[in-house]
Amino acid sequence: DVKVTQSSRYLVKRTGEKVFLECVQDMDHENMFWYRQDPGLGLRLIYFSYDVKMKEKGDIPEGYSVSREKKERFSLILESASTNQTSMYLCASSSQGATGANVLTFGAGSRLTVL
């Protein structure tokens, strides 16, 4: 069964800590995404990568960075965690298939609490 695996389901960190959220996919997908999900706000795109070492800012990149050194792995980094980054983080991947027909496969999510 194809999968997107997020390394941590639940994390609790303190303000100012550096936080790494890891995501690995086994589908040889070119595209990978990081979203955050908050009640009433739906999904908001943080960063997107369409190839190794390539990244594009999404709608809310401030306070985040990403790394994609290998095709299967896409990491989200919070350089200095703040309480307003408490959220559910979702990783997803998709192939660069027929234009407009890309389906996203999501991981189970990482719930981050910043104290």
Q: Tokens standing for 26?
A: 């086994």
Is 99 a binder of another protein (CB under 8 A)? yes
Task: Pick the closer one to another protein by CB: 14 or 108.
Answer: 108
Of 12-20, 66-74, 76-84, 94-102, the segment contacting another protein by CB under 8 A is 94-102
Task: Pick the closer one to another protein by CB: 78 or 107.
Answer: 107
Is 40 a binder of another protein (CB under 8 A)? yes
CA distance 73 to 51: 11
CA distance 77 to 1: 28
Is 100 a binder of another protein (CB under 8 A)? yes
19-21 and 31-38 strand pairing: unpaired
